Amino acid sequence: MPTGHFFNLRMHMSPENSVGVVAEQRVRFNAPMTLKSGAQLPGFELAFETYGTLNAARSNAVLVCHALSGGHHVAGVYADQPQNVGWWDNLIGPGKALDTNKFFVVGVNNLGGCYGSTGPLSINPQTGKRYGADFPMVTVEDWVAAQARLADHLSIDTWAAVIGGSLGGMQALEWSLQFPDRIRHALVIASAPKLSAQNIAFNEVARQAIISDPDFRGGHYAEHGLVPSNGLRLARMIGHITYLSDDQMGEKFGRQLRHGEHRYSYDVDFEVESYLRYQGDKFARFFDANTYLITTKALDYFDPAYDYDDDLAAALARAKANFFVASFTTDWRFAPARSREIVFALLHNRRRVAYAEIDCAAGHDSFLLDDDHYHALLRAYLENISI
Amino acid sequence: MPTGHFFNLRMHMSPENSVGVVAEQRVRFNAPMTLKSGAQLPGFELAFETYGTLNAARSNAVLVCHALSGGHHVAGVYADQPQNVGWWDNLIGPGKALDTNKFFVVGVNNLGGCYGSTGPLSINPQTGKRYGADFPMVTVEDWVAAQARLADHLSIDTWAAVIGGSLGGMQALEWSLQFPDRIRHALVIASAPKLSAQNIAFNEVARQAIISDPDFRGGHYAEHGLVPSNGLRLARMIGHITYLSDDQMGEKFGRQLRHGEHRYSYDVDFEVESYLRYQGDKFARFFDANTYLITTKALDYFDPAYDYDDDLAAALARAKANFFVASFTTDWRFAPARSREIVFALLHNRRRVAYAEIDCAAGHDSFLLDDDHYHALLRAYLENISI
């Protein structure tokens, strides 16, 4: 399974404190689940992984929530795929910031995903065919509800912490709202309390690229043995522009020419073009288009203040967890101001909040990198969590 | 002919000082033209319009250069199309900031365009068929060289001013470099001395959307009676996100729901989705895909410092014009810092430069709006030009 959305920048693997070889697990829930949309799922499976050991008190469990293209393979490697390193391996392991000597860490592929959990590529028991476009929309709230079933399955009554970046941070926040008594610490990183119009606009262009691909076939491409690769590729290219800061892109690529001269053609002239095409092509080979669509809609819809007249403080009043909120100065997808909205709303409710605004050049993707200052702050916060 | 790229925001038409009914003119140049790429064009036509009267000294001519989707219809209306108002009509007319009582104003559709000048939709005399993908790449330098032929045709030895926003500003700058003795004032608005990696990245995704549209047919869609509408639509949607500021998009659309509720479908949920689809669909109906490709490449390639070891000051040393440079605080496509690069390089050469950083919420598209402060500054500068 591929890793997070910018793994080629994460180069500081530390084999000596890796969790080592890990194995995917699956659990099936047979009770139907009513989704926020009103649609019902007739049971589902979740793919997950665990690292470390659950203590006798069952008080040391940490849930790691993934972002748009991540999954349950968060740390370590698979025995038969030594190159396939978990997407947050730089953070998680024995002695690392999220220390598996202390914590029992759980990674899960979200409902509607394409890495093993029930999703659009799964067989619809009612038709015997793949769900495809018939897979219902799932929301951040639904993901958290499904994760709660996993917690039940693992006999974890209360998470010591739920942690995530970007869309993963929204899940950590949602945990504190939907199950205020089942989460002691929420770590919300490079996230936002809701998308802005511009965020939605980028998602919409990505969706339109996929939906208008002739191979999309109304979302039933798999039935026709097709993949809307071109749409997925464009969606990913757009995404990558928003994951990097303008400065980082400038430092990484600048106006560097691929062939040392202007070619006056539509082949690659500039290195940044080559980079985007490569990222787009790679992504289109492994990610499911319907999962991409569902996930971007989940992002668009997430808005805990929606039922509270846009009053985020009122919406967060029911949270009981302690919070660690972090943002990155060069992140223009979810800028620091978006994290501060969360902090202010929590402070208004007299919650305990640690807030870090981290000076890191890598834009939104900073949350995946092992920036020293960032990891030191995470380490300090996590060390203070009693188990 | 459609107007500039955000005309639905330009609502302050003033019929009382409009240039009124205007007519398109065409001129054919039969001498072949060697382009920067080395390719040769066997003569070409330019479509243009003029407003006001050229004075006896031929000293009051102002050239208006267009940006990505603009053209020669800069002011006034056509007799048979009273709704088709020129894209910079709010600026140009009797008594307006660019006063046609004083100046003789010329608008021109660039070489490679799709509004009447020779471009990919024109007939290739060597084949008797439309050029399509065989139309050569043109650069900002080529556009200016072609515009110089138009100046010759109009017996304009020296422009009182050349003015443009965005890509149009690059042409104004290029005039000062390629023909330092034929331009007295260059007005470079919301522009940049070259694109950043992020700018190129957005262009590249737009190009890939067009090129990968199955109806593109290697650029020879017109021969097949096709239009790569879907690719053009996506390209325009991406563009529109970058023309508006995040704040402006937030103020204009926020998270406003089209139907007052989440629909849990891929139809329009949020108003911003509706806006983007509308803009994309409209654009795809009138703009030529090959022109879009050529124009984005012209943007990418423009880099006057390229032959000067990236030393912009050295590159601008040959400019003799006086400059008016303006940027908009919320423009993240060509941020104020990009304009300041031009200003610094000119000051280094002891050129006269007026620089205005204008507080306008509308992002890159601010240059098309009739913001009072912005227009007052332009008026003041233009009033000071002696004719």
Q: How far is A199 from chain B (nearest CA, A)?
A: 9
Q: Encode pLDDT of B102-132 as tens digits.
A: 999 999 999 999 999 999 999 999 999 999 9
Is A75 exposed, middle or buried, given 0-12, 13-18 or 19+ CB atoms closer than 10 A? buried
Cα distances (Å, whole numbers) of residue A320 to A182, A303, B44: 9, 19, 72
Position A4 pLDDT exceeds 80: no
Q: Flag whether pLDDT at A10 surpasses 50.
A: no
Give the pLDDT confidence of A197-254 residue by residue, as tens digits: 999 999 999 999 999 999 999 999 999 999 999 999 999 999 999 999 988 999 999 9
Angle, helices B229-243/B271-286, rounded to nearest 10 degrees: 130
Sign of CA dihedral A220, A226, A231, A235: positive
pLDDT of residue B14: 55
Residues B46, B108: contact at Cβ < 8 Å? yes
Compute the distance between CA of residue A143 and CA of residue B384 in angstroms, rounded to an integer. Answer: 64
Asked if residue A327 lies in contact with residue A373, where contact means CB atoms within 8 angstroms, the answer is no
Instruction: Give the separation between CA B252 and CA B32, rounded to whole angstroms.
Output: 48
| A-B contacts at Cβ under 8 angstroms | 147
Residue B6 has pLDDT above 50, yes or no: no
Q: DSSP letter at A220?
A: T
- Chain B residue whose CA is closest to A255: B197
What is the identity of the amino acid at A263? R
Residue B332 has pLDDT above 60, yes or no: yes
The whole-angstrom distance between B290's CA and the closest CA on chain A is 11
Please compute the mean of the pLDDT values over residues B308-314 and round it to a whole number: 98
Whole-Å CA distances, A155 to A26, A54, A117, A158, B380: 15, 10, 20, 9, 74
Provide, rounded to the nearest whole percent, the portion of chain A with pLDDT above 90.
94
Quote the tokens at residue A138.
Answer: 């799932």
pLDDT in tens, B42-98: 999 999 999 999 999 999 999 999 999 999 999 999 999 999 999 999 999 999 999
Contact of A51 with A18, CB cutoff 8 Å: no
pLDDT band of residue A180 (cuts 50, 70, 90) is very high
Q: Is a pLDDT exceeding 80 seen at residue A5?
A: no
Among A1-5, B61-65, B275-279, the minimum mean pLDDT is found in A1-5
Q: Quick check: A154 contacting B, CB < 8 Å? A: no
Residue from the list A137, A208, A254 with its beta carbon closest to the beta carbon of B234: A208
Mean pLDDT on B362-376: 95
Please give the helix or strand (H or E) that residue A301 lies within, else none. helix A289-301
Q: Is A364 on the interface with B (CB under 8 A)?
A: no
In chain A, at which residue ranges do the beta strands (DSSP E only) sit?
25-29, 33-34, 40-41, 44-51, 61-65, 92-93, 98-99, 104-108, 123-124, 129-130, 161-165, 185-189, 322-328, 353-358
Distance in Å, alpha carbon of A41 to nearest chain B alpha carbon? 15
Question: Could you read off the pLDDT of A274-293 as tens digits, one per residue?
Answer: 999 999 999 999 999 999 99
The residues of A annotated as belonging to the active site are: 166, 331, 364
pLDDT in the model for residue A286: 95
Query: Can you give the pLDDT at residue B8?
Result: 38
Cβ–Cβ contacts within 10 Å for residue A26, how many? 13
Q: Does residue B5 register a pLDDT over 50? A: no
* CB distance A64 to A163 below 8 Å: yes
Q: What is the mean pLDDT of chain A?
A: 95
State whether residue A266 sits within 8 Å of chain B by CB. yes
**pLDDT > 70? residue B9:** no
A375: which strand partners? none
Pseudo-torsion of CA B271, B272, B276, B279, nearest 10°?
A: 60
**Of A259, A83, A232, A363, the residue nearest B212 (C-alpha):** A232
Q: What is the pLDDT of residue B1?
A: 38
Determine the Cα angle at A195 with ends A191 and A197, to 5°: 145
pLDDT at A12: 45
Q: Which two tokens stand for residue A83?
A: 């190159």
What average pLDDT does range A134-139 have in this prediction?
A: 98
Query: Does A109 have pLDDT greater than 50?
Result: yes
The answer to whether A214 contacts B212, with C-beta atoms less than 8 Å apart, is no
* Per-residue pLDDT, A14: 55
Q: Closest Cα to residue B238, out of A171, A201, A338, A358?
A: A201
pLDDT given for residue A16 in this prediction: 73
> For position A250, what pLDDT does the model report?
93
Do B204 and A272 lie within an 8 Å CB cutoff?
yes
Residue B16: per-residue pLDDT: 73
CA torsion angle A80 A84 A88 A93 (round to 10): 40
- Is it the case that residue B15 has pLDDT exceeding 90? no
Distance of CA A182 to the CA centre of its chain: 21
Q: Tell me how far apart the terminal alpha carbons of chain B are, to the nearest angstrom.
A: 32
Mean pLDDT for chain B?
95
Q: Treating both helix axes as pointing N-terminal to C-terminal, what angle do A289-301 and A140-153 enclose, rounded to 10 degrees?
A: 100
Contacts of A236 in chain B (CB under 8 A): none
In the structure encoding, which two tokens stand for residue A148, read together?
Answer: 């709660």
Please give the pLDDT value at position A171.
98
Residues 6+ apart with CB under 8 A from A95: A17, A101
pLDDT at B10 over 60: no
Q: Is the pLDDT of residue B13 over 70?
A: no
Share of chain B above pLDDT 90, in %: 95
Question: Do the Cβ atoms of A347 and A316 come closer than 8 Å?
Answer: no
CA atoms within 13 A on the CB side of B300: 34
Contact A150, A106 (CB under 8 A): yes
Segment A102-119 shows an average pLDDT of: 98
Are A336 and A327 contacting, i.e. CB atoms less than 8 angstroms apart? yes
Give the model's pLDDT for residue A261: 92
Give the active site residue among B213, B288, B331, B365. Answer: B331
Inform me whether the C-beta atom of residue B281 falls under 8 Å from chain A C-beta atoms: no
Whether residue A103 is predicted with pLDDT greater than 50 in this model: the reply is: yes
Quick one: residue B166, left, alpha or beta (phi over 0 = left, psi -120 to 50 = alpha)? left
pLDDT-based confidence at A9, cuts 50/70/90? Answer: very low
DSSP 8-state class, residue A30: -
A371's torsion region: left (phi>0), alpha (psi -120 to 50) or beta? Answer: beta
pLDDT at A3 over 50: no
